[in-house]
């Protein structure tokens, strides 16, 4: 009889010391922080479960890339490498780098939003909703019913309710929909995955109504894992090819590279529409930096390129 042994495909190269504290010390730390975890010092925490955003260990190849970082103000080699990796992965021809995901959200949704505009999602992440509402627009969440019940079984609880999507478009008018945003995985919905079938339905609806379809792709690698193991037609696909197909269904994406690119800082906006890209680029230069670094150092862009690959 053979037993399958799952072995993590990496080994630990660097370690960081963690300060061990007693229960009484931790109680005192919490009291001093007024029981607000965000006011705790990192050195007071033994196991930090606040977020995976920007906190992952980077690979040896990423650290090597940091040493190769080209810090030229414009047109650096590091930018070219990052741009090429994003082009290959997403297929979107126009890429704008940003210091993190919420900056990319601000560029896009501040332009597309405004009073009277409506954005529809499986569940908007908190900064996504904030950027949309800051513009004067309205953010609406329409997850499937199964996604609201932790005790209900469903392989893709992150899906958008397609019937409610059609109803919302009819109610508000396609011309007033700023974008349909599919968050993969559905972060504020418990990190639940989205099926390829659901993405295909959304893409078809948006194309028929001439509505912009945007992926919030922070955790698309994890989502690809669930698709491979839960949607039978993709069981023989590579994770990268699954992600590439999902990107092909949308008009563009926003990504915080601090999640599935496994870096400490960075993000980007990538889209198909040149006119929209140029308008966002103008704001990028004013608020983030020139369009070939967008607030990122060359070493950060090297790490992102390696992480995406």
240-257 in b/e burial notation, b at 16+ Cβ within 10 A? eebbbbbbebbbbbbbbb
**Does residue 163 belong to any structural domain of this protein?**
yes
Domain count, the chain: 1
pTM higher than the cut 0.95: no
| Six token digits for residue 195 | 């099926």
**Does residue 122 belong to any structural domain of this protein?**
yes
Question: Which is it for strands 252-256 and 267-271: parallel, antiparallel or unpaired?
Answer: antiparallel
Bond prior to 185 in cis (omega within 30° of 0) = yes
**Does residue 211 belong to any structural domain of this protein?**
yes
**Does residue 217 belong to any structural domain of this protein?**
yes
From residue 242, alpha-carbon distances to 152, 235, 239 in Å are 26, 10, 5
**Does residue 196 belong to any structural domain of this protein?**
yes
What is the extent of the structural domain holding 137?
64-308
CATH number, domain of 97, equals 3.40.640.10
With CA atoms as reference, report the closest residue to 291 among 306, 273, 279, 304: 279
Q: What is the pLDDT of residue 54?
A: 75
**Does residue 168 belong to any structural domain of this protein?**
yes
**Does residue 241 belong to any structural domain of this protein?**
yes
CA angle 191, 248, 289 (to 5 degrees): 75
**Does residue 45 belong to any structural domain of this protein?**
no
Q: What is the pLDDT along the chain (309 residues), one digit of tens a residue?
A: 677 788 888 888 888 888 899 999 999 999 999 999 999 999 998 888 888 787 788 888 999 999 999 999 998 999 999 999 999 999 999 999 999 999 999 999 999 999 999 999 999 999 999 999 999 999 999 999 999 999 999 999 999 999 999 999 999 999 999 999 999 998 888 889 999 999 999 999 999 999 999 999 999 999 999 999 999 999 999 999 999 999 999 999 999 988 888 888 999 999 999 999 999 999 999 999 999 999 999 999 999 999 998
């Amino acid at each position: 009889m053979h037993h399958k042994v799952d072995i993590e495909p990496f080994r630990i190269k660097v370690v960081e010391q963690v300060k061990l504290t007693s229960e009484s010390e931790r109680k005192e730390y919490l009291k001093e922080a007024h029981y607000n975890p965000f006011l705790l010092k990192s050195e007071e925490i033994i196991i930090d479960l606040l977020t995976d955003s920007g906190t992952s260990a980077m690979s040896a190849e990423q650290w090597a890339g940091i040493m190769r970082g080209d810090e030229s103000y414009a047109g650096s080699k590091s930018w070219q490498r990052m741009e090429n990796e994003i082009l290959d992965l997403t297929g979107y021809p126009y890429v704008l780098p940003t210091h993190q995901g919420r900056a990319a959200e601000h560029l896009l949704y501040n332009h597309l939003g405004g009073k009277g505009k409506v954005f529809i999602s499986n569940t908007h992440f908190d900064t996504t909703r904030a950027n949309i509402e800051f513009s004067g627009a309205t953010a609406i969440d329409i997850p499937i019913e199964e996604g609201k019940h932790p005790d209900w079984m469903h392989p893709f609880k992150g899906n958008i309710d397609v019937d409610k999507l059609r109803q919302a478009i009819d109610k508000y008018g396609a011309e007033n929909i700023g974008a349909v945003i599919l968050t993969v995985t559905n972060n504020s919905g418990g990190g639940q995955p989205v099926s390829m079938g659901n993405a295909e339905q959304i893409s078809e609806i948006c194309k028929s109504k001439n509505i912009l379809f945007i992926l919030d792709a922070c955790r698309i690698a994890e989502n690809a894992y669930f698709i491979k193991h839960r949607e039978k037609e993709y069981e023989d696909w590579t994770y990268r090819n699954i992600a590439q197909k999902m990107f092909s269904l949308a008009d563009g994406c926003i990504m915080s590279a601090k999640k599935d690119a496994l870096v400490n800082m960075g993000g980007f906006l990538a889209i198909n529409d040149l006119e929209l890209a140029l308008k966002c680029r103008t704001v990028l230069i004013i608020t983030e930096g020139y369009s070939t670094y967008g607030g990122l150092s060359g070493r950060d862009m090297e790490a992102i390129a390696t992480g995406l690959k």
